[in-house]
Amino acid sequence: MISSVAVYGDSISCGKFTGPDDSSPDSVVARPWHATVGRYLGAKVTNYSVSGISASRASHVMSDEALCLRCGRIEGSQDFIFIAVGTNDFGTDVPLGSVSDNCDITFRGAVRAVCSEIRKKYPFSLVFWLLPLGRHDMDKNGAGHSLAEYRRAISEVCSGYGIRTVDVNKYGFDSDSPALIKMIMKDGVHPDQSGHDLLASAVIEYLKQTLK
Please report, in tens digits, the pLDDT of each residue of the chain (212 residues total).
789 999 999 999 999 999 998 989 999 999 999 999 999 999 999 999 999 999 999 999 999 999 999 888 888 889 999 999 999 999 999 999 988 887 789 999 999 999 999 999 999 999 999 999 999 999 999 999 999 999 999 999 999 999 999 999 999 999 999 999 999 999 999 999 999 999 999 999 999 999 87
At 158 the pLDDT is 97
Run of H or E including 70: helix 67-70
At 212 the pLDDT is 73
Torsions phi, psi of 51, nearest 5? Answer: -60, 135
Run of H or E including 81: strand 80-84
Largest separation between any pair of C-alpha atoms in the chain: 45
Give this prediction's pTM. 0.96
At 101 the pLDDT is 80
Which residues lie across from 28 on neighbouring strands? Answer: 16
CATH architecture for the domain at 4-210:
3-Layer(aba) Sandwich (3.40)
At 131 the pLDDT is 98
CA pair distance 161, 148, nearest whole angstrom: 21
At 42 the pLDDT is 96
